Structure 1
Amino acid sequence: MSNLSRLLKESWTLVEEQQDKLASHFYARMFLNNPQLRDLFPVQMDVQRSRLLGAIVTAVQTVDDPDRLDEYLRALGRDHRKFHVQPEHYDVVGDALMEALRTFGGDQWTLEFDQAWRDAYALIAAKMMEGADADADNPPYWHAEVLYHERRSRDIAVLTCRPMQPLEYRAGQYISVETRYQPRLWRAYSVANAPRKDGSLDFHVRAVGAGWVSSALVRRVQPGDMIRLGSPMGRMTLDRRSTRDIVCVAGGTGLAPIKALIEEMTRANRTRWVHVFFGARDRDDLYDLACLNRLAARYPWLSVVAATSADPDFPGEHGNISDVVSRYGPWRDHDFFVSGSAQMVRATMRTLAEMQVPAIRIKYDSFGDS
Structure 2
Amino acid sequence: MESTWTATVVEHHRLRHDLAVVRLVGDHVPFEPGQYVDVSVPQNPRLLRRLSPALPPSLDGKLEFHVRSVPGGWVSGTIVADTAPGDTWQIMDPRGAMSVDDSGRDVVMIAGGTGLAPFRSILLDLSRRENPPKVFLFIGDRTPRDLYASDMLYLLLRDLPWLTVIPVVESVYDPEWGDEWYESVRSDIGFGVDDLIEGTLPDVVTSYGAFVDHQVLVCGSAAMVRATLDRLHATGTPEENILYDPY
Secondary structure in 2 matching 1:339: strand
**As a proportion of its length, which structure holds more strand?**
2
Mapped partners of 1:340, 1:151: distance in 2:
20
Q: Which residue of 2 aligns with 1:147?
A: 10
Shift of 1:329: 4.8
Q: Which residue of 1 aligns with 2:181?
A: none
Q: Which residue of 2 aligns with 1:277?
A: 138
Structure 1 149/238 Cα, relative in aligned 2: closer, same or farther at 3 Å?
same
Matches within 5 A, 1:51-200: 78=1, 81=2, 140-163=3-26, 165-200=27-62
Q: Which residue of 2 aligns with 1:302?
A: 163
Corresponding position: 1:353 with 2:233: yes
Mapped partners of 2:160, 2:209: distance in 1:
21
Corresponding position: 1:326 with 2:206: yes
Structure 1 330/361 Cα, relative in aligned 2: closer, same or farther at 3 Å?
closer
One-letter amino acid matched to 2:144: R
Q: Which residue of 2 aligns with 1:212?
A: 74
Mapped partners of 2:108, 2:65: distance in 1:
22
Mapped partners of 1:270, 1:330: distance in 2:
25
Mapped partners of 2:24, 2:95: distance in 1:
18
One-letter amino acid matched to 2:211: W
TM-score, with normalisation over the residues of structure 1?
0.59
Task: Tell me the matched-pair count.
Answer: 228
Mapped partners of 1:253, 1:246: distance in 2:
19
Matches within 5 A, 1:227-242: 227-240=89-102, 242=103
Mapped partners of 2:108, 2:18: distance in 1:
27
Q: Which has the higher contact order (CA 8 A, sep 6+)?
A: 2
TM-score, with normalisation over the residues of structure 2?
0.87
Shift of 1:321: 0.9
Q: Is the 8 A contact 2:212 2:241 kept in 1?
A: no
Shift of 1:362: 0.5
One-letter amino acid matched to 1:311: V
Shift of 1:271: 4.7
One-letter amino acid matched to 2:170: S
RMSD (Å), alpha carbons? 1.5
Q: Which residue of 2 aligns with 1:116?
A: none
Mapped partners of 1:309, 1:263: distance in 2:
28
Shift of 1:239: 1.9
Q: Which residue of 2 aligns with 1:342?
A: 222
Secondary structure in 2 matching 1:284: helix
Residues 202-240 of structure 1: CA distance to partner in whole angstroms, max 9, x if unpaired? 100001111111111111011111111111111112223
Shift of 1:196: 2.2
Residues 168-188 of structure 1: CA distance to partner in whole angstroms, max 9, x if unpaired? 110000011111111211111
One-letter amino acid matched to 1:153: R
Mapped partners of 1:166, 1:198: distance in 2:
7
Q: Is the 8 A contact 2:210 2:237 kept in 1?
A: no
Q: Which residue of 1 aligns with 2:187?
A: none
Secondary structure in 2 matching 1:261: helix
- Structure 1 stretches of 5 or more lacking a match? 1-77, 82-139
Shift of 1:272: 1.2
Secondary structure in 1 matching 2:227: helix
Shift of 1:327: 2.4
One-letter amino acid matched to 1:356: G
Secondary structure in 1 matching 2:30: coil
**As a proportion of its length, which structure holds more helix?**
1
Of 244-253 and 319-328, more deviation after overlay is shown by 319-328
Q: Is the 8 A contact 2:141 2:169 kept in 1?
A: yes
